Amino acid sequence: MNSLQQASSAFMHCQLFYVRDSQQMQIARLQAMIVAHKLPIVLHIELFSDKLTQKRRQQLSQQLDQKATQPILLLDDKDTLSWLSDGLSVAPEWDKLQRRVVSAGRKSELLLQAAKVTADSKAIDATAGFGHDSLILASTGAQVVMLEQQPLMALLLLAEQQRMKALPNWQKLMARLQIINTDAISYFDSMSSHSLADADKSVDVVYLDPMFPEDSYQDQKTGKGAKVGKHMQALHQLARPPTANEERQLLQSALSAVSQPSGRVIVKRPQLAPLLANQAASECWHNEAVRFDGYFAG
């Protein structure tokens, strides 16, 4: 476990740099979000008057290495909140998915072939991360509850949702996303202790994309590790892969949360990775890089 992973179990102190005095309003909104969602995050806020060049980002990042436990957040001149990880700014950047979201369908998105969600569906993305897969699920018109255990990630997601809500083309989709900072296993446990007769709680699909050891993205031909994108690289600093026991709990609790007989749990894995919790799937969908294992409730 690295220092950021340890720090994430208690209150997390984050350095937030902003670049303009006129961003006070955005900062107040971020603080309000932290309070409203009970995120265990304390922001240490500072105006950064230099230009945020790549070199300055690297220097700030090295500062992080010295302090060891304080993640750095940046509110840039476009009012995007990002996390400075190893000198690279990472943010959900949902607008970059626009083309995929607009044209998403079962032909183009393996996830949608597997999940079979429709506009009437309710899905839970239990490992939301940067929310990219949630957006693809929600592109169908489905309601998507996004669970994310890491407060820092939850803050990035909430800030991105707020930013995107201001864009007319995205408002409807944003309204279908509900972001919750919680551990998925506890969330499913609390669902099962409430009455499943409540129609509001009926869930068609639970989607799981748990962390994977960093070296497990193997190139099929060479057997060498495939390059992990900057988003995943950053996530590896915060979150660790589940233990065998956690894998079992995650899959079991997800299966107990899908209430419909036609309901399903879909698990994303690197193409050649072992099954989650070693449990055989009902059906698999795959391409060269990725595999979706489907576990059917009925």
Ligand X SMILES: C[S@@+](CC[C@H](N)C(=O)[O-])C[C@H]1O[C@@H](n2cnc3c(N)ncnc32)[C@H](O)[C@@H]1O
Give residue for tokens 């436990």: 69
Nearer to ligand X, 125 or 204 (CB): 125
Residue 17 in contact with ligand X, rule: CB under 6 A: no
Residue 235 in contact with ligand X, rule: CB under 6 A: yes
Residue 208 beta carbon to ligand X: minimum distance, rounded to whole angstroms: 8
Nearer to ligand X, 127 or 139 (CB): 127
Residue 154 in contact with ligand X, rule: CB under 6 A: no
Q: Which stretch binds ligand X (CB under 6 A): 14-22, 75-83, 206-214, 277-285?
A: 206-214
Size, binding site for ligand X by CB under 6 A: 21
Residue 210 in contact with ligand X, rule: CB under 6 A: yes
Residue 183 in contact with ligand X, rule: CB under 6 A: yes
Residue spans of alpha helices (H) in 116-220: 132-138, 151-165, 171-175, 184-193
Residue 170 in contact with ligand X, rule: CB under 6 A: no
Q: Is the Cα torsion angle 159, 162, 165, 171 positive or negative in sign?
A: positive
Q: Say which amino acid occupies 67.
A: K
Residue 131 in contact with ligand X, rule: CB under 6 A: yes
Residue 71 in contact with ligand X, rule: CB under 6 A: no
Residue 261 beta carbon to ligand X: minimum distance, rounded to whole angstroms: 26
Residues forming a β-bridge with 163: none
Element (H, E) at 268: strand 264-270
21 is in an annotated binding site: no
Residue 46 beta carbon to ligand X: minimum distance, rounded to whole angstroms: 26
Per-residue tokens: 298 = 């009925």
Residue 24 beta carbon to ligand X: minimum distance, rounded to whole angstroms: 29
Q: Is the Cα torsion angle 192, 235, 217, 132 positive or negative in sign?
A: positive
Tell me which residues in 243-262 interact with ligand X (CB under 6 A): 250
Residue 130 in contact with ligand X, rule: CB under 6 A: yes
CB–CB of 47/18 below 8 Å?
yes
Residue 76 in contact with ligand X, rule: CB under 6 A: no
Nearer to ligand X, 210 or 263 (CB): 210
Residue 92 beta carbon to ligand X: minimum distance, rounded to whole angstroms: 8
Question: Which of 127, 142, 131, 154 has the alpha carbon at shortest distance from 268?
Answer: 127
Residue 135 beta carbon to ligand X: minimum distance, rounded to whole angstroms: 8
Question: Which of 208, 207, 202, 158 has the alpha carbon at shortest distance from 180?
Answer: 158
Residue 209 in contact with ligand X, rule: CB under 6 A: yes
Residue 151 in contact with ligand X, rule: CB under 6 A: no
Q: How far apart are CA 105 and CA 120, in angstroms?
A: 15
Question: Which of 17, 144, 174 has the alpha carbon at shortest distance from 80?
Answer: 17
Residues 6+ apart with CB under 8 A from 213: 241
Contacts 24+ apart (CB under 8 A), 100-103: 100/135, 100/136, 100/139, 101/135, 101/136, 101/139, 101/173, 102/139
Residues 6+ apart with CB under 8 A from 1: 240
Residue 239 in contact with ligand X, rule: CB under 6 A: yes
Residue nearest to ligand X (CB): 129
Nearer to ligand X, 181 or 259 (CB): 181
Residue 184 in contact with ligand X, rule: CB under 6 A: yes
- Residue numbers belonging to the annotated binding site: 209
Question: Which residues bind to ligand X, rule: CB under 6 A?
Answer: 126-127, 129-133, 147-150, 153, 183-185, 209-211, 235, 239, 250
